[in-house]
Structure 1
Amino acid sequence: MSEVKQEVIRYPASRIVDVAKALSGDVRVRILEALGDRPMSVSQLAEALGVAQPTISINVQMLEQADIVVSSQGANREKICSVTTRSILLELPAKPGDGLNRTEEIQMPIGMYSQCSVQPTCGLANRDGAIIGSSDDPRAFYMPERVDASLLWFSDAGFVEYLFPNPLPPGVELDELRLTAEICSEAPSFRTEWPSDVTVTINGLPVGTWTSPGDFGDRKGKLTPERWKSGTEYGQLTQWSVTAEGSSVNGAPASDTMLSALSLAYNKPIVVRFEVRENAANRRGLNLFGASFGDHPTDIVLSFIRRMQQ
């Protein structure tokens, strides 16, 4: 069986890091050598290279992510690997931002807040559903174990605040700053009709207020661990966005705050706060979900969507 390979694959500057990582390991180079003449299965590669099959699978995946190797399903559902090319062309970056993807994302674990103000009912749970510290004890929010939190909650008014790095170098034009998180209100146990006004500020400026309709525990969260039996199960994936024209929540206009007002700087952190304010019409706290709780396998995500030059 022979495969038709492209003569040359051309990679833009934004793919240099991916390709470099894929080619930087001895095992991956040996995999490419073995696939030089013919496709091979993962088990054949493991036997030919004298390397454990799980190790081959991991390294093949890295080559696939760089589009240097492709895989198909063979007989007995075995994975068959082949190279896509024998030559690659890398475009070197020529100006700031060329080496970046159009969208750069930073995922922040929910327990990595820099400041907080909470009151009972409150608490944190790790990815296994175990309580960190003690429930309804604000001191738990200052324990080192908080970094492992995959669910946090507080009632009434309060906030959690995060510091994000800015991945864009000076001079790179930004089209949109987008924040995504899974959130719901906080009630004792749960209440599906329990609205709470959750306001996001970035660098101290209001981006928008989203009214969570309730605290959801009417079914099991898709990712929520089985041992968790404390009411809240999932939230709603909510998105705040800031552009040159203003800010929005889930696509609806929400604030006059524009990108230019945020004073984003390469060497300064971006301060993101989730808050239920003292003067909120619906002051019923919040639940914030991490990648191992709720319905969505994501932590807090800050996305930098930049202008692409033609």
Structure 2
Amino acid sequence: MQIDVSTKNMAFLECFSSETRVKIIELLQQESLNIKQLSQRLEISSAIVTKHIQKLEHAGIVASENSTGIRGTQKICRLKLDQAVLQFIPKKQPELPANRANTLSIPVGQYASFEVKPTCGLASPTQLIGVLDDPRYFADPGHVQASIIWFSSGYVEYRIPNFLHSNQKLRALEISFEICSEAPGYNENWPSDISFFINEIPLGIWTSPGDFGAQRGVLSPEWWSSSNTQHGLLKVINIGPTGSYLDGTQISDVTIEDLSVTFAKEINFRIASLESSSNCGGITLFGKHFGNYAQDIVVTMHEDK
């Protein structure tokens, strides 16, 4: 996550003005704790801890959930973020037209084509689909139910519906998704060069720093083992009139015009870990029932009036 140092992000920045809140973050780095446990370790009242937790939750740093125990309901707290980058000089953002915009969500299991190599697999919110490390199961009809997929090299490609009318023109395309590397089990330090394509045109490459599993995913189902990958990073690709951007940083000069998206022409979005890359560290894609973000692949098409 990138945070601009500005007044609009005061709720986030103020979290670090309190030594107590920083100590809470330090404690949650090691394990999830309930309010009473935090109170005992910090030697302050539960009411004060609750107020600090509310601020951390509002800033998106901590997530909590109610759990029923022997002595009633308790609030379990865990870190939601694994990292945040403070941006003192905001990077130039692509200019998006203030015109019509259509947004749709594509499940991560609803790919149109694939070519993957082990380690690999896919799972629905309730169970594994097929057999681990067997690419054949990526063709199982049940793959459309997948809410997490992973592979060590290869690609998945999604077909984005194009509902433009004959008199309309696409001005910008935005695609967001949760993603990380793929290591056996997990490895926080496992770089992977991940390439992105639209209609076979390369948009650019992003290097994922690792395959994250040290902190359990906020949305990880109970049956999902803690030894597995837990969450990724939320990335946003934007292709507009001035080029292609990832999280506001330009990754290529490919513009929306270069994609030649017109009436009745489908849009194919490919995510790949190429064996020819310097860091072929695989890909894990998270849907709305896994990871830290309750979303699938979200596509927004900005159109002319």
Between structure 1 and structure 2, the one with the greater Rg is 1
Q: CA deviation at 1:110?
A: 0.9
For 1:222 and 1:168, how far apart are their aligned partners in 2? Answer: 36
The one-letter code matched in structure 1 to 2:241 is: A
Q: 1:219 aligns with which of 184, 197, 215?
A: 215
* Residue-by-residue CA offset, 1:229-278 (whole Å, 9 max, x unaligned): 04100000011111111111111111111111111122121010000112
For 2:161 and 2:115, how far apart are their aligned partners in 1? Answer: 22
Unpaired runs of 5+ in structure 2?
1-98
1:154 partner SS = strand
Aligned to 1:203: 199
Aligned to 2:234: 237
Counting only pairs closer than 5 Å after superposition, residues 181-200 of structure 1 correspond to structure 2 as 181-200=177-196
Q: 2:138 aligns with which of 133, 136, 141?
A: 141
Q: Indicate yes or no: 2:263 matched with 1:266.
A: yes
2:108 partner SS = coil
Q: 2:283 aligns with which of 283, 286, 299?
A: 286
Q: 1:109 aligns with which of 103, 107, 110?
A: 107
| Native 8 Å contact 1:207 1:240 kept in 2 | no
Aligned to 2:124: 126
Aligned to 1:96: none
TM (normalized to structure 2)?
Answer: 0.65
1:215 partner SS = coil
Q: Indicate yes or no: 2:158 matched with 1:165.
A: no
Aligned to 1:305: 302
For 2:240 and 2:217, how far apart are their aligned partners in 1? Answer: 32
For 2:166 and 2:217, how far apart are their aligned partners in 1? Answer: 41
Q: CA deviation at 1:131?
A: 0.8
The one-letter code matched in structure 2 to 1:153 is: W
Counting only pairs closer than 5 Å after superposition, residues 28-39 of structure 1 correspond to structure 2 as none
* Residue-by-residue CA offset, 1:74-112 (whole Å, 9 max, x unaligned): xxxxxxxxxxxxxxxxxxxxxxxxxxx832112111111
* Residue-by-residue CA offset, 1:128-187 (whole Å, 9 max, x unaligned): 2x11000001111000111100000001x2000011111221232433101111000000
Aligned-residue CA RMSD (Å): 1.5
Q: CA deviation at 1:307?
A: 4.2
For 2:302 and 2:265, how far apart are their aligned partners in 1? Answer: 18
| Native 8 Å contact 1:208 1:240 kept in 2 | no
For 2:101 and 2:289, how far apart are their aligned partners in 1? Answer: 24
For 1:174 and 1:112, how far apart are their aligned partners in 2? Answer: 24
Quote the sequence identity (%): 43
Aligned residue pairs, count: 207
The one-letter code matched in structure 2 to 1:225 is: P
For 2:214 and 2:240, how far apart are their aligned partners in 1? Answer: 36
1:119 partner SS = strand
For 1:250 and 1:139, how far apart are their aligned partners in 2? Answer: 34
For 2:297 and 2:263, how far apart are their aligned partners in 1? Answer: 20
TM (normalized to structure 1)?
Answer: 0.64
The one-letter code matched in structure 1 to 2:256 is: L
Once superposed, which parts of structure 1, at least 4 consecutive aligned residues long, lie more than 3 Å away? none
Aligned to 2:3: none
Counting only pairs closer than 5 Å after superposition, residues 19-168 of structure 1 correspond to structure 2 as 102-128=100-126, 130-155=127-152, 157-168=153-164
Q: CA deviation at 1:118?
A: 0.7
